[in-house]
Amino acid sequence: MNKKKAWSGRFTEPTHPLVEKFNASLGFDRRLYRHDIAGSLAHAEMLGRQGIIPKKDAAAIVTGLKKIELEITSGSFKFDDADEDIHMAVERRLKTIIGPAGGRLHTARSRNDQVATAFRLFMRDSVDETIAQIRRLQKSLYNKAVEHLDTIAPAYTHLQPAQPIRLAHWFLAYFEMLGRDAERFIDMRKRINVLPLGSAALAGTNFPIDREWVAKKLGFDSISKNSLDAVGDRDFVAEFLFACSMTGVHLSRISEELIIFTTNEFGVMELPDAFCTGSSIMPQKKNPDVPELVRGKTGRLAGNLVSLLTTMKGLPLAYNKDLQEDKEPVFDSFDQLVIMLELMADIISALKVDTAKLSKRAGEGYMTAVDVADRLVMKGVPFRDAHEIVGRLVRACVEKGVDFGGLDIRELSAIDRRLLGIKPGKITPQNSADGKNTPGGAARRRISARLKEIGREMKKW
């Protein structure tokens, strides 16, 4: 504690021990070490090439940094909280290893553009990993859709039986949601992948640096265009945290449906034992902990987004120490989301579906009512009248305790003679689903066309 600081020149007393602890981000930002070192390697090389520092010093810095990376990876590196953050920890060690030449690395650079660079590199990797995990889940949803193209199932609004569909349509609904999530990550990547290095503290630098060269070396798509903006904004972080939250919300909704459909009461799906846990008291229990936790952790993802937005709100330009609070929400959201996606993909692949029960349920609850009404409309009855007639038909069936096939000709004509030409009881759930032969509809033709299209899209992933 209270070793000499890199910035100690203008100070007359040592840092308060509690301030040291409060100020330090090393506990969490050590996770950025590879990205910090990558940024420093490119910077040092550029300084040498531009003649800003002696070439041999640049070479010594490069060797030293590579050694430090190995030390941290192998676990032999000694972290000390007095170093504040990973950037200072690496620099201190560099000076120990290569001597005074190490002190030249920070030429034409500030920790403000250094941390922004390391963090953007980290986030670029995180975005790529997240996209890969989303794609993996989409593949398992796609496979299940293929498997259940001919499984007829009820669909709900208000969680009340609504209309029959093919179960493939349900799996593909989540496939589409996750596709948009993946697109959000793909799109934000170009806004993340912008090099801030060279902005220095806030104004740029007096040295003839080559930012384009550094950008190319580090794989950035472009360089930032305003130094104040580059070190002072974190909109790309908010965007990432939103996309994580939104993906979480989609996963949470799948989870909720899995929880409902696997209840004793619904009982149309079953989660494999490997994804459930038991109760410490009730021996009969098999609880859907994984979907419940996915649903629960989604709250945390939204919290991380709100936390970052609140941190940024009202900050004057450019860098403020508040911005150090940008990292933990990202680490947390990323870590949680990746495991949520991985588990959900495995659960979907292993999900057991009671197809017989589902198709039986699809025949209950008068779910072909719209089809009966539509057929009346096709015979010239205005839709509102048809709706009214079918409403009375449903009521008569409910009273008698039968489905549409359970009324005789006399009963049907008592409701409305026009029902006689329709034969409401003859419309099967499958007819109903396949009647929805419009783009995006539940008909078998439409679903198989979409499956084919997805097959082609997946080749480009």
- Which residues sit at the interface with ligand ARG, rule CB under 6 A? 25, 29, 85, 111-112, 115, 319, 321, 323-324
Sort 428 into a burial class: Cβ within 10 Å, 0-12 / 13-18 / 19+: middle
User: Residue 219 and residue 125: Cα distance in Å, rounded?
Assistant: 12
Rounded-to-integer distance, Cα 329 and Cα 337, Å: 12
Beta bridge partner(s), residue 165: 153
As beta bridge partners, residue 157 has 160
Q: Measured on CA atoms in the order 252, 253, 258, 264, is the torsion positive or negative? A: positive
CB of 112 or CB of 298, closer to ligand ARG? 112
Write the CA distances from 326 to 33, 112, 121, 236, integer angstroms.
16, 13, 14, 11
Q: Minimum distance from CB of 95 to ligand ARG (Å)?
A: 18
224-261 burial by CB neighbour count: b if 16+ within 10 A, else e? Answer: beebeebbbbbebbbbbbbbbbbbbbbbbbbbebbbbb
Measuring CA to CA, which residue among 101, 107, 96, 106 is closest to residue 56?
Answer: 101
Catalytic (active site) residue 432? no
- Minimum CB separation of residue 122 from ligand ARG in Å reads 12
Gap between the Cα atoms of 386 and 371, Å rounded: 10
Nearer to ligand ARG, 115 or 244 (CB): 115
Token pair 């904004």 is found at 233
Task: Given the residues 16, 279, 333, 432, select the one marked as catalytic.
Answer: 279
Q: Report the nearest approach of ligand ARG to the CB of residue 109 (Å).
A: 11
The whole-angstrom separation of Cα 85 and Cα 81 is 8
Nearest-approach distance from CB 147 to ligand ARG, in angstroms = 48
Cα distance between residue 367 and residue 35, in whole Å: 56
Q: What are 287's strand-pairing partners? A: 277
Cβ proximity to ligand ARG, 15 vs 151, nearer residue: 15
Please report how close the Cβ of residue 30 comes to ligand ARG at its closest, in angstroms. 11
Residue-wise burial string across 104-122, b where 16 or more C-beta atoms lie within 10 A, e elsewhere:
bbbebbbbbbbbbbbbbbb
What's the N-to-C CA distance of the chain in angstroms? 50
Complex with ligand ARG: residue 77 or 213, whichever CB lies closer: 77
Residue 186 or 228 with smaller CB distance to ligand ARG: 228
User: What gap in Å lies between CA 184 and CA 85, rounded to an integer?
Assistant: 31
Q: Sign (positive/negative) of CA torsion 235, 203, 51, 53?
A: negative
| Backbone φ, ψ for residue 61 (5° rounding) | -60, -45
Catalytic residue check, 158: yes
Q: How far is the CB of 309 from ligand ARG (least distance, A)?
A: 17
> To the nearest whole angstrom, how small is the minimum distance from the Cβ of residue 19 to ligand ARG?
13
Cβ closer to ligand ARG: 6 or 186? 6
**Distance, CA of 333 to CA of 166 (rounded, Å):** 34
When the beta carbons of 250 and 327 are compared against ligand ARG, the nearer one is: 327
Closest CA to 360 of 267, 439, 449: 267
The nearest distance, CB 3 to ligand ARG, in angstroms, is: 17
On whether the CB atoms of residues 2 and 14 are closer than 8 A, the answer is yes
Exactly one of 40, 158, 252, 307 is catalytic; which is it?
A: 158
Instruction: For ligand ARG, give the closer residue by CB, 124 or 450.
Output: 124
Indicate which residues carry an active-site annotation: 158, 279
